[in-house]
């Protein structure tokens, strides 16, 4: 897909999430619903940013195979298992956003705190999964060794 396609799709999904019209039981839930709908991309972006900053890389300009899907696939789930797990997470976030619409103001705050704690726990857990590490400097071709002098 490339960077251009990914940026376009990300912009489109974010715009659709913001254009979503919900009639929540509390005003606090109105800002939480779009965040829940975008839960998987937010988790992945946060994980990659924290991981790359911890390794001394610039998060948005450094390439790498250290995204959530790559880590899950390298852990042993394989590509199909990683995708299915991320689909399940997206479905779970979507169902939670539907439930969130019906919650009152007193129930939203504990849910928000619980979600932030779950995000931190997920990032800490995923940080320990194996991924393909990228170097901080460009790989140069091997240099020929100079011939030894016969003196």
pLDDT in tens, 36-83: 888 898 898 898 888 888 888 887 787 778 888 888 888 888 889 999
Q: Please indicate, yes or no, if residue 62 is contained in any of the structural domains.
A: yes
Domain residues for the domain of 117 are: 22-127
Q: Is 72 exposed, middle or buried (0-12, 13-18, 19+ CB in 10 A)?
A: buried
User: Is 143's pLDDT higher than 60?
Assistant: no
Could you give the residue ranges of the DSSP H alpha helices within the chain?
2-19, 27-37, 39-54, 68-72, 78-101, 105-127
> Total structural domains in the chain?
1
Q: Please indicate, yes or no, if residue 87 is contained in any of the structural domains.
A: yes
Question: Per mean pLDDT, which of 12-21, 50-59, 75-84, 137-146 is the most reliable?
Answer: 75-84
Q: Please indicate, yes or no, if residue 148 is contained in any of the structural domains.
A: no
Pair of tokens at residue 68: 């959530």
Q: What percent of the chain has pLDDT over 90?
A: 14
Q: Please indicate, yes or no, if residue 4 is contained in any of the structural domains.
A: no
How high is the pLDDT of residue 11? Answer: 83
How high is the pLDDT of residue 142? Answer: 54
Choose among 43, 17, 45, 44: nearest CA to 31: 17
- CA–CA dist 42, 31 (Å, integer): 14
Confidence of residue 121 (pLDDT cuts 50, 70, 90): very high
How high is the pLDDT of residue 37? Answer: 86
**Range of lowest pLDDT (57-61, 93-97, 123-127):** 57-61
How high is the pLDDT of residue 91? Answer: 93
Q: Please indicate, yes or no, if residue 105 is contained in any of the structural domains.
A: yes
Q: Please indicate, yes or no, if residue 137 is contained in any of the structural domains.
A: no
Furthest-apart CA pair in the chain: how many Å? 89
Q: Please indicate, yes or no, if residue 13 is contained in any of the structural domains.
A: no
pTM attached to this predicted model: 0.73
Q: Please indicate, yes or no, if residue 151 is contained in any of the structural domains.
A: no
């Amino acid at each position: 897909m490339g960077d251009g396609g990914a940026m376009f799709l990300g912009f489109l999904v974010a715009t659709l999430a913001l254009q979503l019209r919900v009639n929540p039981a509390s005003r606090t839930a109105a800002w939480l619903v779009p965040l829940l709908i975008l839960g998987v991309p937010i988790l992945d972006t946060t994980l990659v940013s924290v991981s790359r900053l911890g390794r001394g890389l610039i998060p948005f300009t450094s390439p790498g195979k250290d995204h959530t899907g790559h880590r899950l696939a390298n852990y042993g789930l394989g590509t199909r298992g990683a995708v299915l797990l991320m689909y399940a997470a997206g479905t779970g976030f979507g169902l939670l956003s539907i439930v969130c619409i019906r919650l009152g103001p007193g129930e939203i705050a504990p849910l928000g705190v619980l979600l932030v704690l779950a995000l931190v726990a997920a990032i800490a857990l995923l940080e320990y999964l194996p991924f393909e590490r990228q170097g901080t400097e460009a790989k140069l071709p091997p240099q020929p060794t100079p011939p030894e002098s016969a003196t």
